[in-house]
A and B are shown apart, each in its own frame.
Chain A
Amino acid sequence: SQTIHQWPATLVQPVGSPLSLECTVEGTSNPNLYWYRQAAGRGLQLLFYSVGIGQISSEVPQNLSASRPQDRQFILSSKKLLLSDSGFYLCAWNRGVTGELFFGEGSRLTVL
């Protein structure tokens, strides 16, 4: 069966510090991968998605970036965090045919 893992689960970082959130998917190959942010308003904002290694599409301009160094690995990064980067970050994957998105457990980031 397929599983998705993301870490760390909780992170408290000072403003201006770097960020790296990792996500890996097991049990499938060539998944579509996504990073979402969920801010206090509860909505799911799509940040990045990837249909293959090295292929990243950005949905919103920001100081975050994403990379996909391996087929089942998706990384969310920042060189310098802002207060507004605080939120709940969710990694997700799907195969694109059925449409069902499978979400990770989330990473809660607090920028102080």
Chain B
Amino acid sequence: GENVEQHPSTLSVQEGDSAVIKCTYSDSASNYFPWYKQELGKGPQLIIDIRSNVGEKKDQRIAVTLNKTAKHFSLHITETQPEDSAVYFCAASKEGGNNRLAFGKGNQVVVIP
């Protein structure tokens, strides 16, 4: 099955700087790559996703890039703010069917004011 790895496990950044989290996946047939944000004590929420027919997607201060050849995708957060502090999960799946997502182990992002 799909195996998703996420690096680094913890990332501290100064407020206003950029943060980048990278994920690699193993199944070349995967074509759907979402990112979830989990605030303390809450369930994860989808913040952005990308499908394999595009290489980059942007939504305000967050963006995701996909390199299908290398089988990795990254989350970019620009102009970080304290409310960006959370655990971020990447995931991968093949769309259709039961659509079970394979999640990475999560990345703790700490934005230092």
Contact residues in A for B46 (Cβ distance below 8 Å): 100-101
Contact residues in B for A106 (Cβ distance below 8 Å): 41-43
**Interface mask (B35-57 → A, CB under 8 Å = 1, otherwise 0):** 01000011111100100000000
Q: Interface of chain B, helix or strand or loop or mixed?
A: loop
The answer to whether A103 touches B44, judged by C-beta atoms less than 8 angstroms apart, is yes
Chain B contributes a number of interface residues (CB within 8 A of A) equal to 25
* Bound Cα distance A78, B107 (Å): 30
Closest-CB distance, A78 to chain B (whole angstroms): 21
Total CB contacts across the A-B interface at under 8 A? 55
Q: Does A94 contact B (CB under 8 A)?
A: yes
Closest-CB distance, A20 to chain B (whole angstroms): 19
Set B49, B95, B96, B106: member contacting A44, Cβ < 8 A:
B106
* Bound Cα distance A97, B49 (Å): 14
Set B34, B44, B98: member contacting A49, Cβ < 8 A:
B98
**Interface mask (A17-46 → B, CB under 8 Å = 1, otherwise 0):** 000000000000000100000000111101
Q: Does A105 contact B (CB under 8 A)?
A: yes
Contact residues in B for A96 (Cβ distance below 8 Å): 96-99
The answer to whether B98 touches A100, judged by C-beta atoms less than 8 angstroms apart, is no
The answer to whether B103 touches A94, judged by C-beta atoms less than 8 angstroms apart, is no
Contact residues in A for B104 (Cβ distance below 8 Å): 43
The answer to whether A100 touches B41, judged by C-beta atoms less than 8 angstroms apart, is no
28 A-B pairs within 8 Å (CB atoms) are namely A32-B99, A42-B105, A42-B108, A44-B44, A44-B89, A44-B103, A44-B106, A49-B98, A49-B100, A51-B98, A90-B44, A96-B99, A97-B95, A97-B96, A99-B34, A99-B93, A99-B95, A99-B99, A99-B101, A100-B46, A100-B49, A101-B34, A101-B44, A101-B101, A103-B36, A103-B44, A105-B42, A105-B43
For the complex with contacts A44-B89, A44-B106, 16 further pairs of A-B residues with Cβ separation under 8 Å are: A43-B104, A51-B98, A96-B96, A96-B97, A96-B99, A99-B34, A99-B49, A99-B101, A101-B34, A101-B101, A103-B43, A105-B42, A105-B43, A106-B41, A106-B42, A106-B43
Binding site for B on A (CB under 8 A): 32, 41-44, 46, 49, 51, 90, 92, 94, 96-97, 99-101, 103-106
